[in-house]
Amino acid sequence: MPYVNIRVAGTLSKEQKAEISQGVTDVISSVANKPKDTILIFIDECAHENIAKGGNLLKKPAAK
């Protein structure tokens, strides 16, 4: 059973999560020849302040 863990800084909409999940499932099923119903995907949303790059905490993007 394939297991995929995706971690993102910030949050995604339900629609974004659904689209990402479908795309990842399609690729794994096609490339690895695995049944789609055996593929598990976990999406972890992390606060920017809990992620560092190059020794510096990420900054939350400015609101659009």
**In terms of C-beta distances under 8 Å and separation of at least 24 residues, what long-range contacts does 54-63 make, across chains too?**
58/9, 60/10, 61/10
Could you report the per-residue pLDDT of 6-64, keeping only the tens digit for each? 999 999 999 999 999 999 999 999 999 999 999 999 999 999 999 999 999 999 888 77
> In which domain, by residue range, is 15 found?
3-57
Number of folded domains in the chain? 1
What pLDDT score does 31 carry? 97
What pLDDT score does 62 carry? 83
What pLDDT score does 63 carry? 77
What pLDDT score does 60 carry? 87
Which CATH number belongs to the domain containing residue 13 in this structure?
3.30.429.10
Does residue 32 lie within any of the structural domains? Answer: yes
Does residue 64 lie within any of the structural domains? Answer: no
Structure tokens at 41: 């995907």
Best CA proximity match to 34, nearest among 25, 23, 46: 25
